[in-house]
Amino acid sequence: MIKLIDAVRSVLEATVSSGSTRVENIHNLVVDYARGYIDGDKETVDRDSVYQLVRDITAEVGGFADDMVDVGEDVRATLKQDDPDVR
């Protein structure tokens, strides 16, 4: 039971940590994009740069999903050490 509680705690910690990092990365992507307009570097919306921004944000979300799969696999491996019936 203690292993399970430790596993749940690890999942929560990893989820919050990864989520915080990904949100910060997305925030920075959007701020950097907006700065181009604020600083006067861009005067009109550039379709390609908007698409690139969306691709970058999508990559961050995909990275978060990958992180969560990795965490799940790690927890499963940890629990399997104690209980070979864990699938």
Average pLDDT over residues 5-34: 91
Instruction: Supply 26's token pair.
Output: 């997305």
Report which of residues 29 and 87 the model is more confident about.
29
- The identity of residue 30, as a single letter, is V
Where along the chain do its domains lie? 2-77
CA 30 to chain centre: 16
- Reported as a single tens digit per residue, the pLDDT across 20-66 is 999 999 999 999 888 877 777 666 767 888 899 999 999 999 999 99
Q: What is the largest CA-CA distance in the chain?
A: 62
- pTM of the predicted model, to two decimals? 0.73
Q: How confident is the model at residue 83 (pLDDT cuts 50, 70, 90)?
A: low
Report which of residues 55 and 78 the model is more confident about.
55
Instruction: Supply 18's token pair.
Output: 């990864």
